[in-house]
């Protein structure tokens, strides 16, 4: 007899075998935003791990994004520009046109980007948690999910334990962002405050592991995220921890939260002339991608020049209509297990209103692309462009036309 739900069973088994972190209580301390002038010479890695939804296919490959003509937040440095990570210096010089869209499409507008990091550092924002690491850090330099092979930042859903192995003690320092937090943290950690645009409470644990590894875990229930920093150098870990602030936007002006819209609007007025015929009409000066999962910002990228043109062409070439999973799972829709992936792409023009495009991939509700007055079906050509910039879609390649 065919197993009716093998992926859900696999997910449960994976959680059962996941390593449990037990850390002793330490005294609470207030976060400071100042960075010491000098860092200890040590290897450091930053890891951002997202939890994938049930019924999704995980790509079994190590992943290192390659970005051209893009300023990327919580992503790999762009080797072709002066900006990297979130940025290695100042915020993007070109910001979103403040003219509001004509239609009432329910997507967050771009806002003023946050300030960039000091010289020599790269800045990452995940669900409103912003931190800074040395500019020498890589992005997703990992093997078998989230075992770092160098000083790195790891961001899920890119970071998945593909090899089904427990994390080993690392000679690198890693910062792990997860889009969940463990309830047992409350009974085993001390309370601490994270400050920035607002002050929120965090639960903090700390320990020294075998082989000299040091580990700090900060659970932030208010934003539904956990930050885990680990490696051999406690001083460097403390430096990264002290850089943490709470922000309402990221380096590219993306809002840090998003309310998922499962049902796309139909035939809204054109956000600007030509939008009923093309997803992104005309010649925008930039396109900003804001990637959301479960209501929080995972990462972002600001595209100009060739990268923006390639994405615009891929969006405009999509066949009209919507998509649906090739293998629907109705039981997922009847629960809270569906975790839609949303990318809000905002095309900004030298004058006039922007065009806001939502790209949604999920088991439940509408999947596809819309600018409010035109729809498009998901396609592998689109995923191929988006994946290096904003991470893979869990159901990418499994979609078929709706109807």
Contact assessment for residue 297 and residue 253, using Cβ atoms and an 8 Å cutoff: no
**Taking Cα atoms as reference points, which of 327, 323, 339, 326 lies closest to residue 382?**
323
Which residues on adjacent β-strands are paired with residue 194? 200
Q: Which has the closest alpha carbon to 301: 254, 244, 366, 256?
A: 254
- Residue closest to 357 by CA, chosen among 294, 268, 296: 268
Q: Are 169 and 149 in contact (CB under 8 A)?
A: no
Lowest mean pLDDT among 9-13, 89-93, 111-115, 342-346: 89-93
Whether the per-residue pLDDT at 246 is higher than 90: the answer is yes
Query: Is residue 369 a part of any domain in this protein?
Result: no
Q: What is the arithmetic mean of pLDDT over 129-147?
A: 84
CATH code where residue 74 lies:
3.40.1000
Residue 360 lies in a domain: no
Residue 89 has pLDDT above 70, yes or no: no
pLDDT in tens, 12-40: 554 454 444 343 343 333 333 333 333 33
Provide mean pLDDT across the span 367-390: 90
Q: Which long-range contacts (CB under 8 A, 24 or more apart) does 206-212 make?
A: 206/23, 206/24, 206/26, 207/21, 207/22, 207/23, 207/24, 208/234, 209/169, 210/169, 211/169
Top pLDDT among 136 and 336 is at 136
Predicted pLDDT at 59: 26
Angle at CA 50, nearest 5°, toward 176 and 263?
150
| Distance in angstroms between the alpha carbons of the first and the last residue of the chain | 30
Top pLDDT among 361 and 21 is at 361
Cα 69 to Cα 307: distance, rounded to the nearest angstrom: 6
Mode of pairing for the β-strands spanning 129-134 and 355-361: unpaired
Indicate the pLDDT class of residue 213, thresholds 50, 70 and 90: confident
Residue-level pLDDT at 182: 57
d(CA 239, CA 35): 6
Q: Model pTM greater than 0.85?
A: no
Interval 320-358: pLDDT, tens: 999 887 777 777 776 666 677 899 999 999 999 999 999
Q: Is residue 162 part of a domain?
A: yes
Q: What is residue 183's predicted lDDT score, i.e. its pLDDT? A: 53
The mean pLDDT of 365-390, rounded to a whole number, is: 90
**In this predicted structure, what is the pLDDT of residue 382?**
92
Domain that holds residue 118: 42-87+114-246
Domain-embedded: residue 385: no
Structure confidence at residue 403 (pLDDT) = 55
Q: With bands split at pLDDT 50, 70 and 90, how would you rate the model's confidence at 265?
A: confident
Mean pLDDT throughout 363-376? 90
Per the structure, how many domains does the chain have?
A: 1
pLDDT band at 69 (very low <50, low <70, confident <90, very high): very low
Supply the mean pLDDT for the chain.
73
* Cβ atoms 133, 122 nearer than 8 A: yes
Distance CA 354, CA 170 (A): 45
Domain assignment present for 392? no
Contact yes or no for 219/181 (Cβ under 8 A) = yes
pLDDT of residue 180 exceeding 50: yes
* Distance (Å, whole) CA 110 – CA 248: 11
Q: Is 344 a member of any domain?
A: no
- Asked if residue 205 belongs to a domain, the reply is yes
Distance from C-alpha of 95 to C-alpha of 104, rounded to nearest angstrom: 21
388 assigned to some structural domain: no
């Amino acid at each position: 007899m065919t197993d009716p739900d093998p992926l859900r069973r696999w997910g449960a088994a994976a959680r059962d075998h996941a390593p449990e972190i037990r850390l002793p209580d330490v005294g609470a301390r207030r976060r400071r935003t100042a960075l010491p002038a000098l860092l200890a010479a040590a290897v450091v890695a930053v890891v951002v791990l997202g939890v994938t939804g049930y019924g999704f296919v995980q790509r079994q490959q190590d992943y290192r994004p390659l970005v051209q003509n893009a300023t990327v937040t919580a992503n790999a440095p762009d080797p072709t520009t002066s900006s990297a990570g979130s940025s290695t210096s100042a915020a993007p010089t070109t910001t979103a046109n403040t003219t509001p869209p004509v239609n009432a499409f329910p997507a967050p507008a771009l806002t003023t980007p946050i300030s960039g990091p000091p010289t020599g550092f790269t800045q990452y924002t995940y669900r409103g948690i912003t931190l800074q690491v040395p500019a020498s850090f890589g992005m997703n330099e990992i093997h078998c999910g989230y075992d770092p092979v160098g000083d790195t930042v790891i961001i899920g859903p890119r970071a998945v334990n593909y090899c089904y192995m427990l994390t080993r003690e690392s000679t690198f320092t890693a910062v792990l962002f997860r889009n969940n937090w463990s309830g047992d943290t409350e009974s085993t950690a001390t309370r601490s405050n994270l400050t920035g645009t607002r002050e929120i409470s965090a639960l903090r644990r700390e320990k020294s592991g075998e082989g000299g590894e040091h580990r700090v875990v900060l659970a932030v229930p208010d934003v539904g995220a956990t930050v885990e920093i680990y490696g051999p150098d406690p001083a460097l870990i403390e430096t990264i921890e002290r850089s943490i602030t709470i922000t309402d936007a990221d380096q590219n002006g993306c809002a840090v939260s998003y309310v998922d819209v499962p049902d796309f609007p139909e035939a809204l007025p054109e956000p600007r002339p030509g939008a009923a015929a093309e997803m992104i009409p005309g010649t925008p000066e930039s396109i900003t991608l804001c990637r959301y999962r479960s209501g929080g910002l995972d990462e972002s990228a600001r595209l100009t020049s060739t990268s923006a043109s390639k994405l615009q062409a891929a969006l405009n070439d999509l066949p009209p209509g919507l998509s649906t999973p090739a293998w629907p799972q109705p039981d997922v829709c009847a629960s809270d297990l569906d975790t839609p992936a949303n990318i809000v792409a905002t095309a900004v023009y030298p004058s006039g209103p922007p065009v806001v495009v939502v790209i949604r991939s999920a088991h439940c509700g509408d999947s596809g692309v819309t600018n409010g007055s035109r729809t498009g079906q998901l396609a592998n050509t689109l995923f191929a462009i988006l994946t290096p910039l904003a991470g893979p879609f869990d159901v990418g390649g499994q979609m078929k036309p709706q109807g």
